[in-house]
């Protein structure tokens, strides 16, 4: 019998790498807004930490902090919330920012151009817009109506995104007018791809949503960087009214002795419609779930497009799409009835049409849409 002459050891290997954007949380955002800097940034800026954002425009940032730049607190909050607390936490590798200089909502051009420029960054899945406190309701709605139309074009092309919006310093009452209008200004917006978030800790709300797996409700997860008592205290009636007006906000959930700072419920502005008029995609987690099905279907189809000269092209693509949908159903992200069908697009031989039937969990019925490749 051989003797053990070496002390037994436990060897632990710890791998800590920031999770990249891959459809399981960690979505990369672009934050668009005016900074009061004299000139807008020529390019879309990329930041891996808050310190880089505070640099002067000449050095690639949007600072310095001393300028009273209201975009910087948003970015600082985002990085604070997205900081990993545990090795296996989902992380954000970087964010993008478009500095609009001194632009206001009066001219929609800079906002629309920034949105279109962001299409060049293929890893962007989330858009965020920060308006100034003195931007007016009618002009903000004009900009967002154009943004919403552009987002619909993105979805048709298989690159869906959701836009999250806030206005510097606006109160609950002011935010409600964005989905309700006023007696003087009847313009409003209610759209599944436009979501309003309270100004307080907007960057942390945005990060919490970006860090949430696409198949989950963002309000399920506790904030990483917010403590009890930091959110505005609202009555149950006020909270319900704000939610019904289509506004996302944070609060302390108190199921027992402890309080848990969380998003109340991630709703889009479409949630402001009457219950029987809302889209099945009015909840953010449902919309994100369908968006990810579209992205995944595009990843399945696109590499095979050059095989379309073969007689069995459609059958081979369809087999892969069926496998994708079956896996979504098996994992519990989608219900039975979910199917993506590939068909030749009769108006353009070079285009493939995907007919999407999605049945996300927690909704009734089937959502149908078409995407073109």
Residue 216 lies in a domain: yes
How many Cα atoms sit within 13 Å of 178 on the Cβ side? Answer: 35
User: What does the DSSP 8-state code read for residue 168?
Assistant: T
Sheet with 45-47, strands from edge to edge, namely 45-47, 95-99, 28-33, 124-131, 162-167, 194-197, 247-248
Note whether 250 and 336 are same-domain residues. Answer: no
The CATH number of the domain holding residue 363 is 3.30.360
What percent of the chain lies above the pLDDT cut of 70?
Answer: 90
In a domain? residue 2: no
Question: What gap in Å lies between CA 228 and CA 138, rounded to an integer?
Answer: 36
Residues 275 and 309 in one domain: no
Residue 106 or 14, more confident? 106
> 196 with 324, same domain?
no
Q: Do 102 and 168 sit in the same domain of this protein?
A: yes
Give yes or no: residues 114 and 150 share one domain. yes
Of 212, 245, 279, which marks where a domain is finished? 279
Final residue of a structural domain among 234, 263, 279: 279
Element (H, E) at 221: none
Range of the domain at 264: 28-279
> 147 and 217 share a domain?
yes
Q: Total domain count for the chain?
A: 2
Classify each residue of 328-337 as buried b or exposed e, where b means 16 or more C-beta atoms within 10 Å of its C-beta.
Answer: bbeeebbbee
Query: What is the torsion angle, in degrees rounded to the nearest 10, for the CA atoms of residue 122, residue 124, residue 127 and residue 130?
Result: -110
- pLDDT tens digit string along 254-282? 888 889 999 999 999 999 999 999 999 99
Same domain, 167 and 251: yes
Q: Burial, 143: exposed, middle or buried (Cβ in 10 Å; 0-12, 13-18, 19+)?
A: buried
Can you state the percent helix, strand and coil of the chain, rounding each to 5? 35, 20, 45
Same domain flag for 209 and 312: no
Within a domain: 195: yes
Domain end: 279, 294, 317, which one? 279
Between strands 28-33 and 124-131, the pairing is parallel
Instruction: Answer whether residue 115 is part of any domain.
Output: yes
Examine the domain organization and report whether 262 and 349 are in the same domain. no
What's the pLDDT at 175? 98
* Residue 157 and residue 207 in one domain: yes
When pLDDT is cut at 50, 70 and 90, the band that residue 151 belongs to is: very high
328 and 264 in a common domain: no
| Co-location of 270 and 188 in the same domain | yes
- Whether residue 40 lies inside any domain: the answer is yes
Q: What pLDDT is attached to residue 306?
A: 65
Residue 295: inside a domain: no
Tell me the per-residue pLDDT of 97-111, one tens digit each, with 9 for 90 and over.
999 999 999 999 999
The structure tokens listed for 181 are: 């209008």
């Amino acid at each position: 019998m051989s003797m053990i002459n070496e002390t037994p050891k436990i060897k632990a290997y710890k791998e800590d790498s920031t999770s990249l954007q891959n459809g399981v949380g960690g979505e990369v955002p672009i934050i668009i807004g005016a900074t009061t800097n004299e000139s807008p940034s020529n390019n879309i800026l990329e930041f891996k930490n808050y310190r880089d954002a505070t640099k002067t425009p000449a050095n690639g940032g949007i600072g310095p902090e001393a300028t009273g730049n209201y975009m910087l607190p948003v970015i600082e909050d985002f990085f604070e919330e997205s900081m990993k607390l545990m090795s296996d936490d989902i992380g954000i590798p970087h964010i993008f920012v478009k500095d609009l200089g001194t632009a206001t909502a009066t001219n929609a051009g800079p906002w629309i151009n920034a949105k279109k420029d962001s299409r060049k960054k293929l890893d962007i899945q989330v858009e965020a817009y920060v308006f100034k406190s003195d931007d007016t309701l009618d002009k903000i709605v004009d900009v967002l109506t154009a943004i919403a139309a552009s987002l619909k074009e993105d979805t048709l092309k298989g690159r869906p995104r959701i836009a999250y919006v806030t206005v510097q310093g606006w109160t609950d009452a002011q935010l409600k007018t964005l989905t309700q209008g006023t007696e003087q200004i009847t313009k409003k917006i209610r759209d599944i791809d436009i979501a309003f978030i309270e100004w307080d800790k907007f960057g942390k709300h945005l990060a919490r949503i970006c860090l949430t797996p696409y198949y989950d409700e963002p309000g399920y997860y506790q904030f990483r960087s917010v403590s009890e008592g930091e959110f505005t205290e609202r009555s149950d009636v006020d909270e319900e009214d704000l939610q019904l007006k289509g506004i996302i906000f944070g609060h302390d959930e108190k199921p027992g002795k402890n309080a848990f700072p969380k998003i109340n419920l991630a709703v889009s502005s479409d949630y402001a419609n009457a219950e029987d008029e809302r889209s099945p995609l009015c909840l953010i987690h449902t919309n994100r779930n369908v968006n990810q099905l579209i992205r995944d279907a595009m990843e399945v189809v696109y590499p095979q497009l050059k095989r379309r000269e073969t007689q069995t092209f459609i059958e081979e693509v369809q087999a892969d799409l069926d496998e994708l949908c079956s896996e979504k159903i098996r994992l519990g992200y989608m219900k039975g009835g979910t199917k993506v069908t590939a068909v030749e697009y009769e108006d353009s031989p070079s285009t493939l049409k995907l007919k999407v039937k999605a049945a996300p969990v927690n909704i009734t019925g089937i959502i149908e849409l078409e995407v073109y490749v």
